Amino acid sequence: MNFSPVLLITDVLLWLLVFAVVGYVWYVRRHEHLLVPWLKVRQNPVAMICATVLVAYAAIGLADSLHFRTASGAPGRSQTGVEVRSVLDVLLGAALGPMAGKSEKTYSAPLAIYSFAKETVEKPGGGQAREFPRLTVGGAHLKNPGDRDGDIAWRGALGLAKGLVLFAVLNGALALWVGRKGGGPALAARAMWRGTTPAPWRPILVTLLLICLMACPAVALGSHYHLFGTDKVGQDVLTISLKSIRTGLVIGTLTTMVMLPFAVLLGLAAGYFRGWVDDVIVYLYTSLSSIPSVLLIAAAVLIVQVSIDNHQDLFPTTLQRADMRLLALCVILGATGWTGLCRLLRGEALKLRELDYIQAAQAFGVARLRILTRHMLPNVMHLVTINAVMDFSGMVLAEAVLSYVGVGVDPTTNSFGGMINAARFEMSRDPLVWWLLAAAFFFMLGLVLAANLFADAVQEAFDPRRVVRRARPRIFQRGPVGGMTEAAEDPRAPGGRPA
């Protein structure tokens, strides 16, 4: 088999973003004033747990963003019929074997060995009967269907054990890395678990342990059963869910990237230049935010879709077409979602431009563009950072909503919104087809919750108005005088005004 890489636009952008983040980290490490708030984030255990989870998601998403084409005609093991595959597809193929991809005819419940729907089968002895047929691959290794429960328990336990081993290896590797600057791995490992390292390693390790204990049994079971069942056309829901992560990440990050230039440029320009520039920009964003955004987005998506359909020649494969539509969705979401941050930045710029150091720069004849980039921009970056992190989860959710409404990503693209949308039609079935919704919910909740909690931590660290108090039991610090319980009261309130 010979490979040739396939560059999808969103892949390129996503990887550029990764390099940008790496570059930013490198830059921050060299600038103390930028480093300080991030060190505060690092000290926050919740933030580090979330970061670990986010890294796991990002790893899956990025593995799914390396596409290549196997030479046509090669006997690909993939049964999806798509010749362009990603690294994740390969990994899933290796880990889940025949389970990955489309393997069944229609719905099947999680860990089932029988199909969800009755079929008419020919009886060996002649005649037909309607019964639940065995699945093609799910649980196919079982000779005797009665062995299912025992097999599941056994494989699950084996998976847990493998998880422990994997975690031990990971822990050792991390200890080696942490202890590389003196101390050695043994000491480092002990310090990490005791919580005496500067970064809170213990919560990170516990999170890693949990991830290992979930992932390994999932692989152990998922390679012989459909862990989350199959969907209407018989695809493995676990595979779909994992592949949806990339869509969520793309939407969450690229949209923000599209939005930031609008918001930052227009917001700063409006606040700094005032006058007619300000009038125009304010007019623009007030008008934009007074149109119901779902309608605006729906209209834009439909237009884009038509034009993609009219230029089939530009996008030879369905995958490229779907990818273009994903990118278009990001651009549309970004182009309509910049108003909030823009308004915020305009206010901040209005405040900043009156500050003495901006005036001093003017007195030095510093060019306007330089004032904007050198003096204003760095001083609003904390707002931008907070906003970008906060918007991420909002965008993931927005995609789900839009796909649900039917104007989201291409139907061939896996996405949480698409899964929910598909599940919607089956909610009235009896017995209930619940696993599609549950899987989408589980994976999306993990992503969004982690992103939100991380955003909180970032905000707390970057927002100078928030005083972060050290969490220590106050009871040991109070003197004989009962604490100043009224301290929350504004000390500037007129003396003695009743609270």
Check residue 465 for interaction with other proteins (CB under 8 A).
no
483-487: list long-range contacts, CB under 8 Å, 24+ apart.
none
Nearer to other proteins, 147 or 463 (CB): 463
Binding piece for other proteins, criterion CB under 8 A, among 86-94, 305-313, 330-338, 462-470? 462-470
The DSSP string of 470-486 is P---GGGT--SSPP-GG
Q: Scanning residues 336 to 355, which ones bind other proteins (CB under 8 A)?
A: 355
Nearer to other proteins, 44 or 413 (CB): 44
Check residue 378 for interaction with other proteins (CB under 8 A).
yes
Nearer to other proteins, 28 or 166 (CB): 28
Nearer to other proteins, 127 or 480 (CB): 480
Tokens linked to 353: 């431009």
Question: With 0-12 CB in 10 A as exposed, 13-18 as middle and 19+ as buried, what is 476?
Answer: exposed
Check residue 482 for interaction with other proteins (CB under 8 A).
yes
Check residue 471 for interaction with other proteins (CB under 8 A).
no
Residue with tokens 């779909």: 240
CB of 17 closer than 8 Å to CB of 257: yes
**CA gap 64, 413 in Å, rounded:** 12
Using alpha carbons only, how large is the chain's radius of gyration in Å?
27
**CA gap 300, 402 in Å, rounded:** 12
Binding piece for other proteins, criterion CB under 8 A, among 361-369, 410-418, 427-435, 454-462? 361-369
Check residue 312 for interaction with other proteins (CB under 8 A).
no
| Least distance (Å) between residue 57 CB and other proteins | 32
| Least distance (Å) between residue 27 CB and other proteins | 13
* φ and ψ at residue 9, rounded to 5 degrees: -60, -45
Helix pair angle (435-462, 45-63), 10° resolution: 130
**CA gap 66, 8 in Å, rounded:** 9
Tokens linked to 154: 């056994």
Check residue 477 for interaction with other proteins (CB under 8 A).
yes
Check residue 283 for interaction with other proteins (CB under 8 A).
no
Q: How many CA atoms lie within 13 A of 453 on its CB side?
A: 16
Check residue 356 for interaction with other proteins (CB under 8 A).
yes
Nearer to other proteins, 303 or 360 (CB): 360
Of the residues 19, 364, 431, 476, which one makes contact with other proteins according to CB under 8 A: 364
**CA gap 315, 137 in Å, rounded:** 34
Number of residues forming the site for other proteins (CB under 8 A)? 44
Nearer to other proteins, 270 or 327 (CB): 270
CB of 256 closer than 8 Å to CB of 16: no
**CA gap 462, 450 in Å, rounded:** 18
Nearer to other proteins, 31 or 118 (CB): 31
From residue 26 to residue 45, the character string flagging contacts with other proteins as x (rule: CB under 8 A) and all else as - is: ------xx------------
Check residue 359 for interaction with other proteins (CB under 8 A).
yes
Which residues here bind other proteins, judged by CB under 8 A?
32-33, 355-357, 359-367, 374-375, 378-379, 468-470, 472, 477-489, 491-499
